[in-house]
Each structure stands twice: as structure tokens, then as C-alpha cells.
Homo-oligomer: A and B are copies of this chain.
Amino acid sequence: MSEDWQQVARDVSALLREGRRQVIAKMAGPMTVDEKTGRKDLVTNIDKSNEQFLIAGIRNMDPTAKVLGEEGFGDKLTSLDGRVWIVDPIDGTMNFVKQHDNFAMMIGIYQDGEGQLGFIYDVMNDVLYAGGPAVGGVWANDQQISAPANLALSEGLIGASAPLVVHDTAHMQKIVHDSAGMRIYGSAGIEMINVLLGKTLGYISYLKPWDIAAGQVMLNFLGVRVSTIDGQPLNMLSSNLVLVATEKAQRDILQIEEDDVSL
């Protein structure tokens, strides 16, 4: 693969734009929807065909790439050594099926465990968010994004997933109470776009590596913290209860977690 990261970014963007074209064309036809772990965890024929398309494109660009894909068309990874591509062909599959909107295509590129480039494509709005340290910026299509304001928890809205709130996992109800309000958009990719744009100050959810890989690279580059709910680095080969937050809000939320432990 070219070590020219600007070129890589252009090639991946072109691959994603062609993937989008195919996804939108297929949405006009019949969709096959299957359950994975349960009735709220769906996969469609389009998730699968898009992952196959994206991974083929990645292997074409980078024949020795290690690829981790949500739907299993990549490799079985046991480490993050070397260059690793992490692919989510349709993030927010429930939204994709029920709304035909509010879903994303995502790719993260890591080198020896360090995030280099992230891509989150808001498919229906046709806005591709892309960037990271390898290219020195983050863009929404052609427009560069500035770092979101470093808001305290009380000053902004927080994204979440519904089960965390219902079960009050990790003091979610206290976190929501202390924030300016909770929003639930149903796609990690769409949630992270909102954080990138400063429309929410954070997001808390159980996430798999492909849900967070792309967002983590861009968010970190813009000064937003991505950690476990305990403030530890994510294990990118496993599930994590992920806390995405501005620096100040991360501190506020970690304090809530700590206060409880000390009771």
C-alpha cells in the first residue's frame, strides 16, 4: 500500500462513495433481514454485500492488510500489530431497516494499534466525515471541522443507547440528570458525527471494535476523549462500555463513577 496517507484517504473515500452508490441502488430492491443475537440485532443482505465490496477494495489497495469486519468477511485478528483495517458496512442496521435513514458506513485504519485514519459516511445526507493524525485534520466532505467546544457535562446533550438508561448501567440516569439532556439516535456512527460537530458532548454505549474504530481516530484528533467508562484505553479486539466525551465532561462522568465506588 502507498505510504502516502493523503492518497490512501482519497482512495478510501472513493471506495466508500462507490459503496454508497451500490447500497442506495439496492435499497430500492427487496431486502433480506435476518436476526443475529436477537430480534433487535439485525443483519441484511446489504450489510453483507457492502462488507464484501469494501473488503475487496481494501485488499486491492493493501494486499497484506489485516481486516476486521462486522459481518465476518475479514480476518480473525489476535493482535493489532501492523496495519489493521476495521470495517462496519452498515452501522445502525435497525435504522437502516426501519427508517431507511440515520445509518453510516465506517472504516478505521490503525497502525500497530495507533489510529491513523477514520471514515464515517452519513449515507442518506451524503456527508463523508474523514480524517485523523495521518492527514492532520478532519473534514466533512470538503469542509474542515474544528475541535468541538470543551463543554462540562451540565452544558451539553449526551447520546446514549436505550438499554443503558433503562437498566441504569454505570449510573446512566445520574449522568443524564446532570447533563442538559439525553438523545438517542440509534447508530454509533451518527452519534459520533454529532459529537464531532459539537451537537452532543459525548456518547455512552456498549460497542464492538467496528462501532468505534473510525470515530475514535477522528474524535481523538479533535481532542475528544474515548475510553472505557472507567477511563481506561479501549481494547480494540473486544467489546467495551465506551465513554466518548469532551475532556471536561469525561472528568465529570468519571467523578460520578468514582463517587459511587467510594460509597
Contacts and interface: CB of A to CB of B under 8 A. Distances in A.
Interface of A: 39-40, 94-95, 98-102, 154, 156-157, 162, 165-166, 173, 176-177, 180-186, 194, 199-200
A8 to B, nearest CB: 32
Given A157-B186, A165-B162, A165-B166, A180 B94 contact: yes
A154 B38 CA distance: 13
Copies in the complex: 2
A199 B157 contact: no
Contacts of A200: 99
A182 B181 contact: no
A180 B199 CA distance: 25
Contacts of A98: 156-157, 180-181, 199
Given A98-B180, A162-B182, A184-B184, 15 more contacts: A39-B154, A40-B181, A94-B157, A94-B181, A98-B157, A98-B199, A99-B157, A99-B194, A102-B199, A157-B186, A165-B165, A166-B173, A181-B186, A182-B184, A183-B184
A69 B200 CA distance: 29
Contacts of A176: 162, 166
Contacts of A194: 99
Most B C-beta atoms less than 10 A away, residue of A154, A183, A194, A199: A183
A137 B134 CA distance: 52
A253 to B, nearest CB: 16
Contact of A183 (B156, B180, B186, B199): B186
Contacts of A166: 165, 173, 176-177
Contacts of A165: 162, 165-166
Contacts of A173: 166
A132 to B, nearest CB: 25
Nearest to A172: B166
Contacts of A95: 157
